[in-house]
Structure 1
Amino acid sequence: MSTKGKVIKCKAAIAWELGKPLCIEEVEVAPPKAHEVRIQIIATAVCHTDAHIIHPKSTESVFPVILGHEGAGIVESVGPGVTNFKPGDKVIPLYVPQCRKCKFCLSPLTNICVKLGSLENPLLGQKLMEDKTSRFTCKGKSVYHFLGTSTFSQYTVVSDANLSKIDDDVNLERVCLLGCGFSTGYGAAINTAKVTPGSTCAVFGLGSVGLSALIGCKVAGASRIIAIDINSEKFTKAKGLGATDCLNPRDLQKPIQEVIIEMTNGGVDFAFDCVGGFEVMKAALECTTVGWGSCTLIGVAMQNKELILSPLELLMGRTINGTLFGGWKSADSIPKLVTDYKNKKFNLDALVTSTLPFDKINEALDLILQGKSIRTILTF
């Protein structure tokens, strides 16, 4: 029986308040309106950003909300005016939209889109659909969307600007990682920093984003890649993906940036902060060489978001970059990344620690917070 135009009742994980586990609930998902698409989510991964939103000290939360932004699924139905998608298409929802009309989308200089909703902090936008209403209801209450995607639901509704069609023959339990973690780290190296062949790199933080940045450095031809993390258990994985050196700051007798400068005769060409927080950002910048060192900031920490530095650090030729979704023009780039994955240009399997049924979503959140998981894939 067709569900087109009808409300769908399904399973979703709802965050009702800060600091509490997600609750598996039955939700009602309304049909898509104009330029919207309703998707059946097949697989979704858990990202640190999802945990960030329900952290007791988060200031970017509204409740109740359905989180999740790293998923893949199949189009169930489309609303009026949708021409690029049809029922049955395999798709990846995009937390960075691409409307192809705003001044940002029309510029080759950025992948930002005005439909992010908040150009100061992407976490503050896309909490409702464009008409300022929600497509989710639970227990008679309207439920907020998250980043325009809300993949922690068996069915979700997204704008057609927040969606990319992909090949029918791909494994959705792997390419869902292209929705955030992999694309962000990999693109930071390839697009934002533009790592050069033969260069030296330092990657701070070896979660999904950091390991993906490491993969990007390797694909770009870096000759030396120094991987840094306070959990030495991650080093075997990092070396398997191309790290030439691994350092745990807690094992060192001097600041990590000083050690890296000594190791590299003055500093690395490229550094990537995939952690966030003042101390790591400062160390990433200071471990780059004077003259041309490039530091790319990717991580966002809950507290201590300021970066305090001396102008001399920049006057001497270092640069700082920021990156959102790895600089990819989202809807245009995802199909190309899928093709690269199919052609084995990079290995997404290496980032998957485990696969769990959706009902175990809180276990998946605990694993990532405890540093025991790179990515856990949840399936419905």
Structure 2
Amino acid sequence: MENHHQKATNGFSEPTDYSTAGRVITCKAAVVWVPGEPFVMEQVQVDPPQKLEVRIKILFTSICHTDLSAWLGENEAQRAFPRILGHEASGIVESVGEGVMDIKQGDHVVPIFNGECGECKCCKSEKTNICSNSGVNGFKKVMTNDGKSRFSTKDGKAIYHFLNTSTFSEYTVLESACVAKIDPEAPMKKMTLLSCGVSTGVGAAWNTANVQPASTVAIFGLGSVGLAVAEGARARGASKIIGVDINPDKFIKGQEMGVTNFINPTEPGKPVHERIREITDGGVDYSFECVGNLDVLREAFLSTHEGWGFTVILGIHAAPTTLPFHPMELFNGRGIIGSVFGGFKGKSQLPHFAKQCMRGVVGLDKFITHELPFEKINDAFQLLIEGKSLRCVLQL
């Protein structure tokens, strides 16, 4: 890797020599060659950013269930190898391509898989955080500019991108629409969580559902996203937050995020939605499905109160199956919607959310359960597989 003069700042070594701008950088990356096989630490070539692109030095990256499913090749959209996965990270801008005006060398940033170009009809609307040009696209594996990858092996073999980000590399190249600038005083390790899990969950509670004070909430699946929903609901003053998970240990962690009641669906008794209706006088105001399972989605939908109950889908449903209820069931006043990246517009709204986290409105420390060096990425994935970690942060 190219050498830099470095200085200690904010808990990491920050590059102060940007002589690599415009040049190919050789650096270390964790490459998946075959689905399900261990990550291989490789020396890869990272090209300079092209028009409206940014090259970032990654400082910290963490692992999400979406990375796990992509590594296993579970989703057809993600089966493109060799590939550099990863989409939760924080870093420093090393160089920018032609036309990039809002980001410069040295900026502290987080990559965002659901970009915000600022120019399309959706970006100009306050009704959505979808971006027609740089939104999340599981099938995308190369850059938009020229249809090529910015990663390659030393012998010139292309290595594919992942979710607009590819953060399991010491350097990565993204479209500028997928880079959010944050306060340089923000703790970079914690800011890593804002790239996906915490923003997705908290945003679903704040932006998509707009949870109100004293309301009731049910969360199906207490992984990182589900617990982030709980943290968001707690911050909004929800009076009852019911966590549903087959792992009773999740309730212990959930209590830190505001979960007040716990239901294990594997225990004998009435269906989950009936139990929730009993303890909430007819059903919760908001339910969140964070598993990606149709049976769980139906329970989440039926657990809400008739007349106004609202269900938010956060789980990734890989198979193209239909929703598990009759259209007439919507006539009793319940609503349902999917949420991408918690409804946050990444470039324009994430910086403010980062400042809220810095003030302690959302507690990020609670989500980091493990920390390892980048070279231990296979160990980090095993922790996630075994259900032992919420977020394992890797330092590069």
Scaled by the length of structure 2, what TM-score is found? 0.92
Which stretch shows the higher mean deviation, 136-145 or 285-294? Answer: 136-145
Tell me the distance in 1 between the aligned counterparts of 2:268 and 2:372. 37
Equivalent position amino acid for 1:167 in 2: D
| 1:216 aligned residue (228, 232, 250) | 232
Mapped to 2, the partners of 1:128 and 1:343 lie a distance apart of 36
Map 1:183-194 → 2, pairs under 5 A? 183-194=199-210
Distance 2:68 2:210 in 1: 30
Deviation at 1:128, TM superposition (A): 2.8
Matches of 2:364 and 2:54, distance apart in 1: 27
Q: Which runs of 4+ in 1 moved over 3 A?
A: 301-306
Match runs of 1:223-262 below 5 Å: 223-262=239-278
> How high is the sequence identity, in percent, across the aligned residues?
46
Distance in 2 (alpha carbons) for counterparts of 1:246 and 1:350: 19
Distance 1:37 1:240 in 2: 37
Q: Which residue of 2 aligns with 1:131?
A: 146
Matches within 5 A, 1:169-180: 169-180=185-196
Separation (CA, whole Å) in 2 of partners of 1:302 and 1:102: 27
The residue that corresponds to 1:365 in the other structure is 381
Task: Give, as a single letter, the amino acid of the residue that structure 1 aligns with 2:76.
Answer: T
Unpaired runs of at least 5, structure 2: 1-16
Do the aligned partners of residues 159 and 86 (structure 1) sit closer, same or farther apart at CA in structure 2, a change above 3 Å counting? same
Does 2:66 match 1:39? no
1:350 matched to 2:366? The reply is yes
The offset of 1:172, in angstroms, is 1.1
Q: Secondary structure of the equivalent of 2:369?
A: strand
Deviations 1:102-155 (A, max 9, x none): 01101111000012367xxx3123543432111100142111111111100000
The residue aligned with 1:110 is 128
SS at match of 1:115: coil
Shift of 1:308: 1.9
CA distances 1:284-327 after superposition (whole Å, capped 9, x unpaired): 00101111100000011445754220223211000001100000
Contact 2:51 2:145 in 1 (8 A): no
Contact 1:44/1:72 (<8 A) preserved: yes
Letter in 1 for 2:338: G
Within-5 A mapping of 1:11-160: 11-60=28-77, 61-116=79-134, 122-125=137-140, 127-138=142-153, 139-160=155-176
Shift of 1:203: 0.6
Aligned length: 377
**Structure 1 contact 96–325 (Cα < 8 Å) conserved:** yes
Structure 1 contact 117–124 (Cα < 8 Å) conserved: no
SS across alignment from 1:347: coil
AA paired with 2:113? Y
SS of the counterpart of 1:123?
Answer: coil
The separation in 1 between residues aligned to 2:74 and 2:103, in whole angstroms, is 39
Post-superposition shift, 1:53? 1.1
Cα distance between partner residues in 2 of 1:219 and 1:126: 37
Superposed displacement of residue 196, structure 1: 1.1
8 Å CA contact retained: 1:95, 1:147: yes
TM-score, scaled relative to structure 1: 0.96
Residue 143 to residue 88, structure 1, CA distance change in 2 (3 Å): same
* Match among 163, 173, 177 for residue 161 of structure 1: 177
- Partner Cα distance (2:149, 2:235) in 1: 41
Residue 12 (structure 2) pairs with residue 4 (structure 1): no
| Alpha-carbon distance in structure 1 between the residues aligned to 2:335 and 2:41 | 45
- Is the 8 Å Cα contact of residues 69 and 93 (structure 1) preserved in structure 2? yes
Cα contact 2:134–2:178 (8 A) shared by 1: no
What CA distance in whole angstroms lies between the structure 1 residues aligned with 2:244 and 2:135?
A: 34
Matched, 1:300 2:300: no
Distance in 1, Cα, partners of 2:321 & 2:364: 30
SS in 2 for 1:18: coil
What is the alpha-carbon distance in structure 1 between the residues aligned to residue 260 and residue 112 of structure 2?
Answer: 33
Could you tell me how far apart the structure 2 residues matched to 1:70 and 1:240 are? 23
Report what 1:327 is aligned to. Answer: 343
Does structure 1 retain, via aligned residues, the 8 Å contact 2:115–2:135? Answer: no
Instruction: Determine if contact 1:44/1:68 at 8 Å carries over to the other structure.
Output: yes
